[in-house]
A and B are shown apart, each in its own frame.
Chain A
């Protein structure tokens, strides 16, 4: 099941600034809610996001309970070479999801 989307232009000129949009679906639990009997429901959130462009980290974000359940990030980078842009989300309970997109730089 597709639970993440990474969108960026399929091709770009060398040196051009491109926008990367990353969206992920996640069943969030803030860690502040309680059950009807008063027990705290354990936190379950995405804690980290990294974006790697041909092996080099170009963007990183840390998430906290106040962020959206299905976080959407849009950021820019300079197109340097053809290759793959890999986005990775990690979180509580061993959550890990990777989605990538290819780019051709002419």
Chain B
């Protein structure tokens, strides 16, 4: 929210990351690996008050975006003067479980697309409307509304021969050291998830609640926004919104969290 705060924070992260990395190697913590019984949602790392905020729809600010999305769902848009409702009907039934399957393969693009891209494919193709820019209120509201219809359902990413190369690209990216700090995602989120960084819990990076309301942001943001935050924290040049590298990473992270329950719209500190 405040520029000064952000700058201060990333320099803290820089020095602390190095300390955490060194101490973890000394302690020899087993990586998270394939043992799914150790998996924790970011929810499990939160304090009582933040959990209460997420659990009560009347207190969860993410619900304001969901309500906006509900209004947008039936608003006609574009040259085709069609709304989402005109094709898909009631989202409460037609969109149930959809967000739990994204990113999903798109035949026309010959690669996986995330939910935001799917919405914009619909907008440009079916509604003949200009695409919504990333992180705009309207796009966040629509993804929050669609995501809300999968709340409580298990993440079910289907990997087949078409999506496997992208999953492997995402996995490679997760494990690749990058940026000025020369850190991989796995070094924090697999090896050190039970530790803290600048007072905050290092979580296991399971994207169960996106788009979510982050108290630090004082607003709703997408998974890509969060990934870009992490990249900046490790002093890496962040990929643009919608970049194939980000979508591959999203695919890998969702696959890695398969079976965990969707919490959208979640609240995180």
Interface contact B58-A69, CB-CB below 8 Å: no
A77 in the interface (beta carbon within 8 A): no
**Minimum C-beta distance from B34 to chain A (A):** 39
In angstroms, how far is the closest chain A Cβ from the Cβ of B215?
Answer: 8
CA distance A7 to B2 in the complex (A): 31
- CB B95 to nearest CB in A, in angstroms, measures 18
User: A74 contacts which chain B residues (CB < 8 A)?
Assistant: 59
- Report whether B218 and A68 are in contact in the complex, using a CB–CB cutoff of 8 Å: yes
- Which of B63-71, B111-119, B155-163, B242-250 participates in binding chain A? B63-71
Q: Give per-residue flags for B69-109: 1 if the beta carbon is below 8 A from chain A beta carbons, else 0.
A: 01100000000000000000000000000000000000000
Given contacts A21-B58, A69-B219, A74-B59, contact A32 B2 (CB under 8 A): yes
Interface flags, B188-222, vs A, CB<8A=1, else 0: 00000000000000000000000000010011000
Would A3 and B1 be within 8 Å (CB), given that A21-B58, A23-B59, A72-B59 are in contact? no
Known pairs A32-B2, A70-B218; A23 contacts B68 (CB<8 A): no
Report the minimum CB–CB distance from A7 to chain B (whole Å).
Answer: 4
Asked if B7 is an interface residue, CB under 8 A from chain A, the answer is no
Does B61 lie at the interface of the complex (its beta carbon under 8 Å from any beta carbon of A)?
A: yes
Count, A-B residue pairs, CB within 8 A:
48
Residues of A within 8 A of B56 (CB): 21
A interface footprint on B29-72 (CB within 8 Å = 1, 0 otherwise):
00000000000000000000000010010110101110110110
Q: How far is the CB of A65 from chain B (nearest CB, A)?
A: 10
What bracket does the count of chain A residues touching chain B fall in?
A: 20 to 34
Supply 15 A–B pairs (Cβ within 8 Å), ascending by A: A1-B71, A2-B64, A5-B58, A7-B58, A23-B58, A23-B59, A23-B61, A23-B64, A24-B64, A25-B64, A30-B2, A33-B2, A69-B218, A69-B219, A70-B219
In the assembled complex, B3 has its CB within 8 A of some CB on chain A: yes
Q: Which residue of A lies closest to B59 (CB)?
A: A72
The answer to whether the Cβ of A105 comes within 8 Å of any Cβ in the partner chain is: no
Say whether A28 faces chain B, with CB atoms less than 8 Å apart: yes
A-B interface, 3 closest residue pairs, ranked by CB to CB distance from nearest:
A2-B67, A69-B218, A7-B58
Q: Which residues of B contact A69 (CB under 8 A)?
A: 1, 218-219
A33 contacts which chain B residues (CB < 8 A)? 2-3
In angstroms, Cα B219 to Cα A28, docked, is 10
Give complex CA distance A4, B63 in Å.
10
Q: Is the CB of B218 within 8 A of A2?
A: no
Closest residue to B61 on the A side, CB-wise? Answer: A70
Contact (Cβ within 8 A) A70 B2? no
Taking CB atoms, residues of chain B closer than 8 Å to A28 are: 218
Structural contact, A70 and B58, CB atoms closer than 8 A: no
List of A residues within 8 angstroms of B63 by Cβ = 5, 23
A72 touches B67 (CB 8 A): no
Are B218's CB and A25's CB within 8 A? no
In the complex, which residue of chain B has the Cβ closest to the Cβ of A4? Answer: B64
Do residues A3 and B64 form an inter-chain contact, with CB atoms below 8 A? yes
**Chain A residues with Cβ under 8 A from B218's Cβ?**
28, 68-70
Q: With the chains together, A35 CA to B133 CA distance in Å?
A: 22
